[in-house]
């Protein structure tokens, strides 16, 4: 039997190695370069929601009336931990300084209640009404709760909204114009509205529209559950 030369064996080994390299290159091309990107370039989670916001404006007779607008909220979780970034776009519409401060506080306070870290979050808010400015702070509860819902991957029930702020104690804070906001929500066919348990004395007495579900809430847990059907704080199993 004729013995194979070492040269023949080496060439066979080379061919095997070349085949392995070609297979690997094929896998990379099929999966895309992002599959093998460095951890610093990866984006673990991204989400977007357009939510209804209850507010008060003036009509042509300069009388206060309720109004339902929308705010577009984009959420991105970065790979770094360089701090919470909240971006308020100035077009088409914009947010007043009071609205911006209230929103930033709400995001921080709701996330703390949910025991979530925010140092890798980038939040971008858009008010899609050209030349219009969002005033006041009553949008902040809805925005803060929605941001946490995006972070957790919990959907917001269609046709539901909340008006209020987030207090330092982690509760839903009172706001004015609640009766006007409820009437506006009823006109826009929203089916359930959450309002602060503590009412503004200036609102006086009012009636709930027929078939309109209005729920006074104080705790963030109840507000979040009402909007998502999920608990704000997920209990961890004890090992």
Looking at 29-38, 71-80, 129-138, which range is the least confident one?
29-38
Is the CB of residue 92 less than 8 Å from the CB of residue 129?
Answer: yes
Residue 23 lies in a domain: yes
The total of structural domains in the chain comes to 2
Token readout for 70 is 């929308």
CA atoms 226, 181, 105, 152: torsion sign: positive
Residues 25 and 97 in one domain: no
Report whether pLDDT(239) > 90: no
Token readout for 108 is 């921080």
Residue 235 lies in a domain: no
**Nearest residue to 157 (alpha-carbon basis) of 48, 52, 47, 67:** 52
Residues 130 and 81 in one domain: yes
If one counts every other C-beta atom within 10 angstroms of the C-beta of residue 31, the result is 10
Residue 239 lies in a domain: no
pLDDT at 38: 35
Please give the residue range of the domain that contains residue 188.
Answer: 41-228
Encode 70-105: b = buried (16+ Cβ within 10 Å), e = exposed: ebebbbbbbeeeeebebebeeeebbbeeebbebbbb
User: Which of 40-54, 166-180, 199-213 is most confident?
Assistant: 166-180
**Nearest residue to 160 (alpha-carbon basis) of 185, 127, 187, 126:** 185
Residue-wise pLDDT for 5-32, tens only, equals 444 445 444 344 444 444 333 333 333 4
Report whether pLDDT(96) > 60: yes
Residues 102 and 131 in one domain: yes
Is the peptide bond prior to 179 cis by the omega test (within 30 degrees of 0)? no
Residue 212 lies in a domain: yes
Residues 127 and 28 in one domain: no
Residues 29 and 68 in one domain: no
Residue 236 lies in a domain: no
pTM: 0.80
Q: What are the helix and strand counts (H, E) for the chain?
A: 5, 11
d(CA 167, CA 182): 22
Residue 237 lies in a domain: no
Residue 203 lies in a domain: yes
Residues 46 and 31 in one domain: no
Residue 67 sits in a domain of what CATH number?
Answer: 3.30.230.10
Residue 87 lies in a domain: yes
Residues 27 and 52 in one domain: no
Residues 86 and 130 in one domain: yes
Residue-wise pLDDT for 130-142, tens only, equals 999 999 999 999 9
For 152, the 3-state DSSP assignment is helix
Report whether pLDDT(2) > 70: no
């Amino acid at each position: 039997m004729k013995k194979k030369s070492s040269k023949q064996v080496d060439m066979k080994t080379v061919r095997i190695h070349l085949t392995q390299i070609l297979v690997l290159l094929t896998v990379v091309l099929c999966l895309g370069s992002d599959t093998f990107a460095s951890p610093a370039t990866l984006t673990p989670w991204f989400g977007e929601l357009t939510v209804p916001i209850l507010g008060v404006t003036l009509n042509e007779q300069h009388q206060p009336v309720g109004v339902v607008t929308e705010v577009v909220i984009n959420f991105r979780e970065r790979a770094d931990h360089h701090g919470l970034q909240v971006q308020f776009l100035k077009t088409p519409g914009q947010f007043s300084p009071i609205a911006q401060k209230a929103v930033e506080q709400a995001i921080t306070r709701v996330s703390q209640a949910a025991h979530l870290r925010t140092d890798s979050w980038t939040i971008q808010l858009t008010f899609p009404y050209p030349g219009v400015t969002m005033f006041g702070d009553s949008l902040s509860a809805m925005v803060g709760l929605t941001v946490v819902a995006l972070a957790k991957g919990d959907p917001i029930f269609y046709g539901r909204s909340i008006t209020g702020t987030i207090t330092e104690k982690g509760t839903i804070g009172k706001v004015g114009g609640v009766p006007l906001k409820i009437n506006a929500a009823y006109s826009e066919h929203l089916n359930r509205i959450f309002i602060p348990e503590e009412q503004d004395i200036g609102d006086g007495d009012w009636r709930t529209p027929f078939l309109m579900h209005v729920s006074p809430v104080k705790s963030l847990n109840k507000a979040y559950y009402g909007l998502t059907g999920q608990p704000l704080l997920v209990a961890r199993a004890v090992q």
